[in-house]
Amino acid sequence: MSGLIDRADRATARADLSSYAVVNHHFDAAADQLGLADDLREVFRGAYREVQVQIPLRLADGTVKVYNGFRVQHNGARGPYKGGLRYHPEVDLAEVRALAALMTWKTAIVGVPFGGAKGGVDCPARDLDAGRIERITRQLVDKLDQVIGPQLDIPAPDVNTNAQVMAWIMDEYGKLHGDAPAVVTGKPISLGGSYGRESATGRGLIDVLGEAAPLLDLDLERTRVVVQGFGNVGSFAARVAHGRGCTIVGVCDHTGAIHAPQGLDPDALQQHLNGGGVLTDFPGAEPIGAREFLGIACEVFIPAALGGMIHRDNAGLLNCRMVLEGANGPTTPEADAILADAGVLVVPDVVANAGGVVVSYFEWVQNLQHFRWDEREVHERLAKLLRRSFGEVRARSDDRRCSLRLAAFSLGIERVVEVARLRGYV
């Protein structure tokens, strides 16, 4: 049985619209709301800088395979470029460009002083050993070292990259430029990482859920949650939600999907997977097919896998009241419309999953100050910042009678345009 995170879904999403077109679609809708002139739209649709580099790698069979590395810096009006690095075979320039733009709007919406960037390598990270991932990472830094830096562009983890990868980036950059922990965030704690960064995106999602729940009269103690994807974002979201009283009734990953009407313990599931177990063998839950998984009755569905997973052919299957976007760009515009018609509230990625970049900002601040906050302080500051951001987005969506996504984009774009004007860029 195949899980939900497969090529077929991504292919349908691509047919729906490419990720670049999706971000431009949201941008245009918000630019219309703001009455932004056409010449300015052109500036913000494109990116400031796009770098593509070649990364040759000797494989286990002795042959050399050439991968492509990317870094796109979309807009730096509000501060140094900021955004993750993903390692996945489907990474390409158009996708990285779209995700970089999303970071520009996300950092503006939550009010952290960064611009937007994204990077990646089109390698099959899951099939490569750690030594090869390290060689790819060090080569990437050797080739991008002139365009990244603590005051220039600060990478972070994303799909298939983690604290170890960030440690290699910091080390390689340090060899070339001198020790500079603030060049990257999401580092291991022992190398200057921040407490709470690893769990930040998942925890932030549930902080935002706490703010959005009253809109639907949801009580977390009686809220059933389905999580699509059990990587860093999905697993921490499930664990934090469980800790706050939610019932986790379904989980899927790239190997399959499970259903647990009475609820499952996500910590036990994480241990099962860490021990080499397969998701569908998890005791206390039933394996379920991909389409049935989407139809599991719940209050909150959390897409926390890749982009474009909820599209025109499957959006109608969802049986939830809220979609809380953990992944970047998980819902295509056609799916957005289907969900809106069905009365499902979509809490968009640019605010819902911003906990990651918010704690990245905290990590960067701590590095620059050579000082460390304790975990509680990080959690409290994160919750406070997301509460304020969600409140601002919600207020705008009420005022302008528009979706949370449109309100969030228009808020972010307004802030970036203002700063770009003040600097004299536009």
Catalytic center residues:
118
Cα 342-345-347 angle, rounded to 5 deg: 145
Q: Indicate the residue among 119 and 256 with the shorter CB distance to ligand GLU.
A: 119
Q: What is the 3-state secondary structure (H, E, C) of the chain?
A: CCCCCCHHHHHHHHHHCCHHHHHHHHHHHHHHHHCCCHHHHHHHHCCCEEEEEEEEEECCCCCEEEEEEEEEEEECCCCCEEEEEEECCCCCHHHHHHHHHHHHHHHHHCCCCCEEEEEEECCCHHHCCHHHHHHHHHHHHHHHCCCCECCCEEEEECCCCCHHHHHHHHHHHHHHHCCCHHHCCCCCHHHCCCCCCCCHHHHHHHHHHHHHHHHHCCCHHHCEEEEECCCHHHHHHHHHHHHCCCEEEEEEECCEEEEEEEEECHHHHHHHHHCCCCHHHCCCCEECCHHHHHCCCCCEEEECCCCCCECCCCHHHCCCCEEECCCCCCECHHHHHHHHHCCCEEECHHHHCCHHHHHHHHHHHHHHHCCCCCHHHHHHHHHHHHHHHHHHHHHHHHHCCCCHHHHHHHHHHHHHHHHHHHHCCC
Asked if 354 contacts 110 with a C-beta cutoff of 8 angstroms, the reply is yes
Q: Determine the Cα–Cα distance for residues 13 and 331; give it in Å rounded to an integer.
A: 9
Binding residues vs ligand GLU (CB under 6 A): 82-84, 156, 158, 185, 328, 353, 356-357, 360
Q: How, if at all, do strands 81-87 and 300-303 pair?
A: unpaired
Q: Determine the Cα–Cα distance for residues 348 and 394; give it in Å rounded to an integer.
A: 11
